Structure 1
Amino acid sequence: MKDFVIPLAIAVIGLAATGWGALVGARAARFGAEKNAEAVRRQVQDQGAVEHGHWTRQERMTAYESFLGAWDECLRITQTPAEDHASDSAALETLRVAAVRMAERARRIAILGPLDVARAAESLSKTMERDVKIVARLTTEVQEAIADVDGRPIDNDALAEATAEFQRRNRDLTNLVTSYRAQGRDLRELDGHPVLRAALESMQQYRQVSSAARDALTENFERLSAASEQAFPVGAELILSREQHEIDRQAFTRAARTALSTPPPLSTSTETRTETSDTGSRLTRRRNHTH
């Protein structure tokens, strides 16, 4: 009996060892397959993250360049000398359209990010919107002044005609006086003379026309002076706004350069899955050790 039990025990132990070895081998193979699958998934996701980062960088660069292009267009219009466009409503409308385009491109940057670049773009856009309002106010002031001046025109033709008539009648009167003196005649005899009467009439006409022209010129000068006084603080505000332009642009450029030079981080989901896989592996090893 003893001779039978010992071989049987050895056979049972061998069978158990074989089964245990098969179980361990199967679990090891499964663990290896899971690791390979996880490595493939991680590689695919990392590659996707790299490609997405490249796409994001390209889209940001395009958006930043487009935004600066709209900004330069607005700046070019606002820096045009005032006498070239202050009274031109078409130029003001062009500036409004350019500012709207700039705001639209700033909103795209708000989508693409990052946050500091989006804030700098928004600041630039609002500064330009403020400039449009300033230019609109300045344009309104100048246009109203011009309209007032045009409403009080100086009749240069009438003034020139009255002046020529007065000079001609004055020469005739001078010649008549000279003739009277040469003849030794009393100048009081000129009273009621047609030449004297015509000269006095031309003088009165000249005084009326020149007085009207002088009054119109004075009113126009005063209106233009008032418009200049009102436009001066508006122009000063525009100068200060342009100084803020440079500050905002430098801030935007720095933020954009940093954003484009910084590689995007790997996605959080990849790290989470990696940690989950590692945790699962530790649990598997713990269960194998327990068994």
Structure 2
Amino acid sequence: MDQGIAAALAGIAGLIGAGIGGITAARGARIGAETAARATSLQVRDQATVDHEHWLRGQRLEAYKELLEAYDEYAIAASNVGRIFDFEITDSGSEHGRAFGQSVTAFRRAYFRVRLVGPEEIAERAFQLRSRIEDHNSCISELGDALLGRTDCSVAALRETEEELRLGLADLHSGFREEAARVLVQPSAVTHEDLRHAN
């Protein structure tokens, strides 16, 4: 074989080798870029999950705090109305009656905020507490009407019912507080699927 043909064959082999090497390098670069992009995407998604969990925990803390404060306002206002019924407070009671009505409204508003941020088990506790407050509120209204002679209901029976409801409120309040504390310290179960639905 003459030297010219050998050189041409060597050149062709070199070009083929370079072409294969270039294709392999390009393929490796593409795979590397795809791997880096996937890793970045997962990192961004994981950070979004952490950020969302942090935000949600803050929203829950504020909502639970608002509900507990609203409960305290309700308990004080209801106690003042009870003291009027027992003639321990001798003013007209209109200011206390207004405060009582406002405390019921404030509790309802706080309850709906808790329902929004959840989770379901805390929303259920809040629902039980709200239901008992609504019953207690109705009982106090009925007791007021009975004391003023507007109904034939037994004052003694209504006082007994009011006391039972008040004691039940205290138990439900404690249960809500305990469940809220548990929810706030446990890690959130927010998933990537939850984030996809939220956005």
Same-fold call, TM cutoff 0.5: yes
Q: Which residue of 2 is the match for residue 261 of structure 1?
A: 185
Change (3 A) 1:271 1:29: farther
Q: Residues of 2 paired with 1:66 and 1:271: CA distance?
A: 26
Q: Note if 1:252 corresponds to 2:170.
A: no
Q: Which residue of 2 is the match for residue 29 of structure 1?
A: 29
Unaligned runs of 5+ residues in structure 2 are none
Change (3 A) 1:266 1:143: closer
Q: Note if 1:107 corresponds to 2:112.
A: yes
Q: Residues of 1 paired with 2:89 and 2:27: CA distance?
A: 82
Q: Which residue of 1 is the match for residue 133 of structure 2?
A: 128
TM-score of the pair, normalised by structure 1: 0.57
Q: Residues of 2 paired with 1:266 and 1:122: CA distance?
A: 23
- Give the aligned residue type for 1:40: T
For 1:79, what is the secondary structure of its paired residue? helix
Q: Residues of 2 paired with 1:22 and 1:6: CA distance?
A: 24
Q: Which residue of 2 is the match for residue 55 of structure 1?
A: 55
Q: Which residue of 2 is the match for residue 153 of structure 1?
A: none
- Give the aligned residue type for 1:58: G
Alignment of 1:213-232 (within 5 A): 230-232=154-156
Contact 1:49 1:266 in 2 (8 A): yes
Q: Which residue of 1 is the match for residue 103 of structure 2?
A: 98
Q: Residues of 2 paired with 1:96 and 1:270: CA distance?
A: 38
Q: Residues of 1 paired with 2:194 and 2:58: CA distance?
A: 23
Q: Which residue of 2 is the match for residue 195 of structure 1?
A: none
Q: Note if 1:45 corresponds to 2:45.
A: yes
Q: How many correspondences in the alignment?
A: 191
Q: Which has the higher contact order (CA 8 A, sep 6+)?
A: 1
Alpha-carbon RMSD across the aligned residues, in angstroms, is: 3.0
Measure how far apart 1:57 and its partner are. Answer: 1.1
Alignment of 1:172-251 (within 5 A): 230-251=154-175
TM-score of the pair, normalised by structure 2: 0.81
Deviations 1:229-283 (A, max 9, x none): 81111111111112221221122112211221122245325999xxxxxxxxxxx
* Bigger CA radius of gyration: 1
Deviations 1:90-130 (A, max 9, x none): 43342122111101111011111111111111211121111
- Give the aligned residue type for 1:27: R
Q: Which residue of 2 is the match for residue 187 of structure 1?
A: none
